Amino acid sequence: MAFPVSITRHLRELLIALTHPCLLHVAADYHVLDVIGDPLRYGLSLQQGEDAREQLPLLYGIALNQAEQWPMIELSDGLYADLLIQPTACGGAHLLLTDAASEHARRQASQQHANELQLLNRRLRRTLDELQSARAELEQTNQRLATLNQLKTQFIASLSHELRTPLTAILGHTELLRDQLRGIGGQRIAESLRAIDSGGAHLLSLINNVLDQASLETGQLVLNPAPTDLRALLTEIADMLRPMAEQRALAFRFQAPSQLPAWVETDATRLRQVILNLGGNAIKYTESGFVELNADWHDGRFRLHIRDTGPGIAPSERERILLPFQRGGQVAGQAGVGLGLAISQQILRLLGGKLVLEAHPEGGSVFGFEIPLERVDEVCTSAAADSTASSDQLQDSTARAMPLLLVDDAQDIRLLYRYLLEGLGFSVQEAADEQTALRLCRSHRFTLAIVDLHLGEGDGAQLIRHLRDAGFRGFIVGWSASSLRDDRESMFSAGADAYLVKPVPPSVLHKTLRDLLAESVR
């Protein structure tokens, strides 16, 4: 079915309006015979009788006796048209020009878009290359940092051993001498021993702070929660802070709150460290007045505040002094390296709390924190009973001389703890290396073994593993001057039942051995 005449007419008019056709009728010699349409639209001013090639040079060399179609020809002034050559019977031709400007613009835009895409692709490839290069460089940097971090960790462990081990011997033997000379030696000897003990304790505190800060930076300091008698812990801390305050003619106030739970789950060592840091700072920076320790427990949260009557801390200084190696300027003459508060803050974060510093309305400062503590009454009730039984076992062991193997490469340390352990009723056999320890185990049946992590050329964790493989069924306490997480985990993985960090106070050693023996009672 053909289109209706009206539709055909409309389409023709639409096509003419869109293409703006211009028809040139030329003779065989290219002279214009007739012009239909508007040649000016295409930049042409052809008249009858003129040579069409003068304004359409592309006609030179083109035969008019063949039908041809030339798309997108460029005319003058940047005009574009499609050219159709249709031969006529008289030897000439009809030259039909139709507007190609819109198509040219479309193609030009498309080409520009393609060029832009190509440019973007180049930039994208360059960016991807840069990203891959940056990623490779970052991986290399991370690898170098990991290596440096590992070297730093190894250095901390080595430094811990080299510094804490001789200090353990100094402080331990000083305490032994003081106990042996109590009531016998003169005042000068007592004062000298007290000075040695005080200086050594201060040096140990500085070393511990520096090593703890390094351990925190490398992620090696971890918590070791265990059932803890919170009231006893606070009383112990107060008993340690009170003489420090009295030496500076300060009053020390503390009264354990009645609502404290009997036992909680926490890292007593780290909690003690934080409270002693805060209390020690308060005492150190207070010239007169008092230092007060207040504690509270409510709905599973433990709150503690230490107030002093010192000079206070300016608001502008409160953030700075919580940074590592920063100290209050008003007491620059005081000893210390400015790590106590920074370490306390980071430990409190591990414990789930935050260090808070405020000014008291009546003068002085208040340092405090709040941490979650889980009550463990039932667990510790049975543990306390077992502990009593094990304590009796230790006290009654003198007659039986309970055999214990002490393995440490430092002779001074072995001598110190041999005296302490024999005082607890143990029959101590010493070994400085792995071979001697294994030989002694073949000829003795030890109830307990204490093994140092660093044994000169040997490895304490490896020795523990060999002891377990050889059938050792007694309790093994691993100890070291290192508090690093990796060292602790290596000892437990090898088969240790407990891990202690030197210097180990006699009371801590006694409690650890007592608790282990409680396991055999249950």
- Out of 102, 121, 151, pick the residue that ends a domain: 102
Do 354 and 411 have their domain in common? no
Range among 85-89, 175-179, 374-378 rated most confident: 85-89
* Residue 439 and residue 360 share a domain: no
Q: What is the CATH number of the domain that holds 230?
A: 3.30.565.10
What's the predicted TM-score (pTM) here?
A: 0.55
Block residue for tokens 């009730």:
381
DSSP 2: P
For the chain, give the longest Cα–Cα distance.
147
* Cβ(332)–Cβ(396) below 8 Å: no
Do 287 and 364 sit in the same domain of this protein?
A: yes
Averaged pLDDT of the chain: 83
What's the pLDDT score for residue 186?
67
Query: What is the average pLDDT across 298-304?
Result: 90
Helix axes 434-443, 460-469, angle to 10 degrees: 30
CATH code for position 477: 3.40.50.2300
In this predicted structure, the answer to whether residue 222 has a pLDDT above a threshold of 80 is no
Q: Which of 343, 326, 353, 372 is nearest to 221 (CA)?
A: 343
CATH of the domain at 47: 3.30.450.20
Judged against a pLDDT cut of 50, whether residue 411 lies above it is answered with: yes
Does residue 447 form part of some domain? Answer: yes
Give the domain-ending residue among 45, 69, 102.
Answer: 102
In a domain, 444, yes or no: yes
What pLDDT score does 452 carry?
94
Whole-angstrom distance, CA of residue 466 vs CA of residue 438: 8
CA angle 128, 134, 137 (to 5 degrees): 145
Instruction: Name the band, by pLDDT with cuts 50, 70 and 90, for residue 332.
Output: very low
- Asked if residue 122 is part of any domain, the answer here is no
Radius of gyration of the chain (CA): 46
Residue 101 has what pLDDT? 85
Least confidently predicted of 16-25, 202-211, 439-448: 202-211
- Express each pLDDT in 120-169 by its tens digit: 999 999 999 999 999 999 999 888 887 877 777 667 666 666 777 787 88
> Does 41 share its domain with 95?
yes
Query: How many domains does the chain contain in total?
Result: 3
> Domain check: are 422 and 475 in the same one?
yes
pLDDT for the residue numbered 323: 63
- Residue 207, in any domain of the structure: no
Average pLDDT over residues 106-122: 88
- Shared-domain flag, residues 405 and 483: yes
Residue 24 has pLDDT above 80, yes or no: yes
Residues 6+ apart with CB under 8 A from 175: 197, 506
Asked whether residue 257 is domain-assigned, the answer is yes
243 Cα distance to chain centroid: 39
**Does 185 score more than 70 pLDDT?**
no
Residue 202 has pLDDT above 80, yes or no: no
d(C-alpha 370, C-alpha 273), whole Å: 15
Same domain, 354 and 421: no
**Residue 219 located in a structural domain:** no
Has residue 280 got a pLDDT over 50?
A: yes
The DSSP-derived string for 142-164 is: HHHHHHHHHHHHHHHHHHHHHHH
Same domain for 429 and 356, yes or no, is no
Residue 476: beta bridge partners? 449
Determine the structural domain holding residue 233 and report its residue range: 224-327+336-373
Same domain as 428, residue 347: no
At 128, which helix (H) or strand (E)? helix 101-181
Give the per-residue pLDDT at 399: 35
Q: What angle do CA 301, 304, 306 make, to 5 degrees?
A: 170
Q: Give the residue, 389 or 347, on which the prediction is more confident.
A: 347
CA angle 511, 237, 374 (to 5 degrees): 70
Q: What is the pLDDT of residue 333?
A: 45
Query: Is 360 found in the same domain as 406?
Result: no
Residue range 45-49: average pLDDT?
90
Same domain, 304 and 414: no
Bond from prior residue into 503 cis (ω within 30 degrees of 0): yes
Coil, helix or strand at residue 332: coil
Do 417 and 352 sit in the same domain of this protein? Answer: no
For residue 62, tell me if it sits in a domain. Answer: yes
pLDDT at residue 264 tops 50: yes
For residue 7, tell me if it sits in a domain.
yes
